[in-house]
Amino acid sequence: MSLQLEIFLEHLLNGLTLGGLYALVTLGLALTFTVIDIVNFAHGDLFMLASYTLVVLTGLEAVSLPYPVIILLVMLGGAFYAVVMERVAIHPIIDKSWRTHAVTTLGLSIVFQNAAQLIFTTDPRQVPTPLTKTILAPLGIRTSAQRLVILLVVVIVFVGLQWFVRYTKLGKTMRAVSQNRDMCEVVGINVRQVALITFGIGGAITGLAAALIAPLFSVYPTMGSLLTLRALAAIVMGGMGHVNGAIYSAFILGVIESFFGGYVSFAYRSVISFGLFILVLFVRPRGLFGRRIGL
Amino acid sequence: MSGLKSRGWRIGGVVVLIMISLLLPHYLNSGYAINALITTVRWIIFALSFDLIAGHVGAVSLGHPVFFGAGAYVTAILGTKLGLGFGPNLLLAAVSMAFLALIAGVAFFRIRGVTFAIGTLGAAIIAQLVANNAYNLTGGPMCSKGVPRPTLAIPFTERVLEITQPIDYYYLQLPLLAITIVTYLALTSSRNGRAFLAVREDEVRSSAVGIFPLRYKLLALAVGAAIAGALGSFQAQYITVVCPSELALGITNTLLIIVFVGGVASFRGVMIGALIFSIIPRLLELGGTRAVAPAYQQIAYGLILILGMLFLPEGLDGLITRYVQRFRSGKNEEVET
């Protein structure tokens, strides 16, 4: 294999794992966004809180928990934070306009980031797992096992979610709520309860994302801001009200960012992905895979 | 009769406010207090310019600080190179930001509602990344230093006075405040103001009655951007250093708090909001004698924002209006009985 091809494949694999990582972060937000039409600017901070939960759980001196158990606990933590957030701040304003949603969740984001800064200081924390140090080389391309696990988990979660939404009663209810909330209330669906459950599921997926992704990077209080915007970018690019579109867009952003960072400029790789997102907005305001306009 | 009377009260109130704003710094003899005053006026100007866009035409732009930061960089980079004075610098920043707003507006107003908010947030992050990474132009995190201070030529002499004292800066900033208030009131009253609100409430219906939404949105954005740009230019000449942090997202948060807790699309509300949220941090610092971790202040701001959205949907302004009405109706009842 020629060196150039090898480099190309390395960037491609990197881009795919990066895309998988973005997709996992996006899923939870896309769910609440589509089902109950709430834009949550504190989503990335939910990820941050779950990441600190991971830091605390891994750092426990008394009991050294195995990684899979920790993942489960962090998922539970993510679901718990999301449910509390829904009950306290989002529940009372759920029927208000998007402006109220946006401003309230931005307020939540400020509170979470600064509370984390007071508790954990701004020093970045590292949480390596056994998998991050294991280097695998499929097809001669070196990558860490953690990244491949993420890619695998994204596929599993994605397929699982498709099955859940299509074939379970709760999933069908969620789809119905996303399509017509008023009509659902007429036929006796408890929309508020569905909202709470959706937040719970979204939180659990975000917890899973944090437990898998945080070990690859460092954990710090303001890590959520960029993640929120990346997830929102993927959702808007995919077309509002279209979870699958958001996932495809997350992969597109990941691959493009990886190639741009590898071949053109590493410093401007985020600029290119956000620039692309804005460009898509101008050219196709409904998003790449969109069917309807969001608002 | 009563109309005339209330008009008299109004004019009297305005005169008193002008007197206070002119005389106040003379009674504050510490640099800290005057600096706090400058900051307060800055937030009033900034929040009014933001409210034009977010409040009156309802396009919640999360990228408003870009105009402030870019205006500051225009002065730091271009103004310094051209050797412009204080006034021309402000004008250059205002005009270039209005121009930028027109271009950005034509593109961004293709999208609406929450997508607009997300898109403008993306633009803000791009601007911040560029400011941080374009070392040759902005100096990156090392900041753009050495912006010349404003100078004043003393008439009939050869002497040129360099302005360094906070109190002089305060008086330099006041005309900008006056221009902002007059522009804000002129744009938001009469037919134009009603057209703004019509566009905010329903674009399709407003275009049905002959209001072209894009025109009014562009007008609000361009004027808001020009004011923010001029303010950024002032800030650059006051601090003499321009850093990427001028574009920070935290500024957006403060603007949102001032406008949404104070009262959306309300002059009185925005003024109250700007005053309260400029004074609170100073009170926390106990007049500069105590250092407070900014995190506490930020948490307080976030909580106030959430509580405001939950319990004061119309902001403090709505609360005041309600109390005034209750007071008035109570008095009327007394007269009747």
Q: Is residue B23 part of a domain?
A: no
Q: Are A258 and A15 in contact (CB under 8 A)?
A: yes
Residue B153 touches chain A, beta carbons under 8 Å: no
Question: The CATH number of the domain where B207 resides is what?
Answer: 1.10.3470
Q: Are B199 and B206 in contact (CB under 8 A)?
A: yes
A85: tokens are 């957030």
Q: Which residues in chain A have Cβ-Cβ distances shorter than 8 Å to B296? A: 114, 118
Of the options 2.30.30, 1.10.3470, 1.20.1740, 1.20.120, the CATH number for the domain spanning A3-283:
1.10.3470
- The C-alpha atoms of residue B161 and residue B156 are separated, in whole angstroms, by 13
- Give the residue with greater pLDDT, B196 vs A143: B196
Q: How far is A65 from chain B (nearest CA, A)?
A: 33
Q: Are B33 and B40 in contact (CB under 8 A)?
A: no
Q: Is residue B20 part of a domain?
A: no
Are β-strands A125-126 and A135-136 bridged in parallel, bridged antiparallel, or unpaired? unpaired
Residue A275 touches chain B, beta carbons under 8 Å: yes
Enumerate residues 300 to 329 of chain B having a beta carbon within 8 A of any beta carbon in chain A.
301-303, 305-306, 309-310, 313
**pLDDT for residue A294:** 36
pLDDT surpasses 50 at B337:
no
Q: Is residue B10 part of a domain?
A: no
Q: Is residue B22 part of a domain?
A: no
B34: tokens are 């005057």
B326: tokens are 């209750």
Q: Is residue B11 part of a domain?
A: no
CB-nearest partner of A108 from B130, B293, B306 = B306
Residue B249 touches chain A, beta carbons under 8 Å: yes
Residue B152's beta-bridge partner residues? B161
pLDDT, tens digit, for every residue of B251-272? 888 899 899 999 888 898 999 9
Domain-by-domain residue ranges, chain A?
A: 3-283
The ipTM (two decimal places) reads 0.84
Residue B113 touches chain A, beta carbons under 8 Å: yes
Residue B161 touches chain A, beta carbons under 8 Å: no
Alpha helices in chain B (DSSP H): 2-27, 31-51, 64-73, 80-82, 86-108, 113-133, 135-138, 166-188, 190-201, 203-208, 213-239, 249-262, 267-284, 294-311, 315-336
Q: Is residue B6 part of a domain?
A: no
Cβ contacts of residue A246 below 8 Å, gap of 6+?
A23, A26, A27, A30, A231, A234, A235, A237, A238
C-alpha gyration radius of chain A: 19
Cβ contacts of residue A196 below 8 Å, gap of 6+?
A83, A86, A87, A91
Q: Which residues in chain B have Cβ-Cβ distances shorter than 8 Å to A117? A: 295
pLDDT, tens digit, for every residue of B18-75? 888 888 877 777 778 888 889 999 999 999 999 999 988 888 899 999 999 999 999 9
**Nearest residue in chain A measured CA to CA from B259:** A103
Question: How far is the CA of A76 from the CAs of A80, A195, B267, in angstroms?
Answer: 6, 18, 46
**Nearest residue in chain A measured CA to CA from B133:** A267
Alpha carbons within 13 angstroms on the beta-carbon side of residue B16 total 6
- The C-alpha atoms of residue A270 and residue B129 are separated, in whole angstroms, by 8
- The C-alpha atoms of residue A99 and residue A101 are separated, in whole angstroms, by 5
- The C-alpha atoms of residue B82 and residue B70 are separated, in whole angstroms, by 17
Q: What is the 3-state secondary structure (H, E, C) of chain A?
A: CCHHHHHHHHHHHHHHHHHHHHHHHHHHHHHHHHHHCCCCCCHHHHHHHHHHHHHHHHCCCCCCCCHHHHHHHHHHHHHHHHHHHHHHHHHHHCCCCHHHHHHHHHHHHHHHHHHHHHHHCCCCEECCCHHHHCEECHHHCCEEHHHHHHHHHHHHHHHHHHHHHHHCHHHHHHHHHHHCHHHHHHCCCCHHHHHHHHHHHHHHHHHHHHHHHHHHCEECCCHHHHHHHHHHHHHHHHCCCCHHHHHHHHHHHHHHHHHHHHHCCCCCHHHHHHHHHHHHHHHCCCCCCCCCCCC
Q: Which residues in chain A have Cβ-Cβ distances shorter than 8 Å to B118? A: 39, 229, 232-233, 236
A8: tokens are 């190309």
pLDDT, tens digit, for every residue of B207-250? 888 888 889 999 999 999 999 999 999 999 998 888 888 877 77
User: Cβ contact (<8 Å) for B117 and A89?
Assistant: no
Among candidates B12, B77, B37, which has minimal Cα distance to B165? B37
Q: Which candidate in A37, A99, A266, A293 is best for mutational testing of the B interface (most B CBs within 10 A)?
A: A99
**Nearest residue in chain A measured CA to CA from B116:** A281
**Nearest residue in chain B measured CA to CA from A112:** B299
Cβ contacts of residue A221 below 8 Å, gap of 6+?
A48, A113, A114, A116, A117, A120, A122
Residuewise pLDDT in 10s, chain A (295 residues): 678 888 888 888 888 888 988 999 999 999 988 888 888 999 999 999 999 999 999 888 777 788 889 999 999 999 999 999 999 989 888 888 888 898 899 999 999 999 999 999 888 888 877 777 777 776 667 777 888 888 899 999 999 988 998 899 998 898 888 888 888 888 888 888 899 999 999 999 999 999 998 988 889 998 888 889 899 989 888 877 678 888 999 999 999 988 988 888 877 888 888 888 888 888 887 777 765 543 3
Question: How far is the CA of A47 from the CAs of A4, A52, A209, A237, B304, in angstroms?
Answer: 37, 9, 8, 21, 23
Q: Which residues in chain B have Cβ-Cβ distances shorter than 8 Å to A274? A: 122-123, 125-126, 129
Among candidates B112, B60, B40, B110, which has minimal Cα distance to B256? B60
What confidence category does residue B99 fall into, taking pLDDT thresholds of 50, 70 and 90? very high
Q: Which candidate in A100, A110, A276 is best for mutational testing of the B interface (most B CBs within 10 A)?
A: A110
Amino acid at B220: A
Q: Is residue B4 part of a domain?
A: no
CB-nearest partner of B295 from A89, A103, A114 = A114
- pTM score: 0.87
Residue B133 touches chain A, beta carbons under 8 Å: yes
- The C-alpha atoms of residue B35 and residue B19 are separated, in whole angstroms, by 19
How many domains does chain B contain in total? 1
DSSP readout, B153-177? EPTTSS-EEEP--HHHHHHHHHHHH
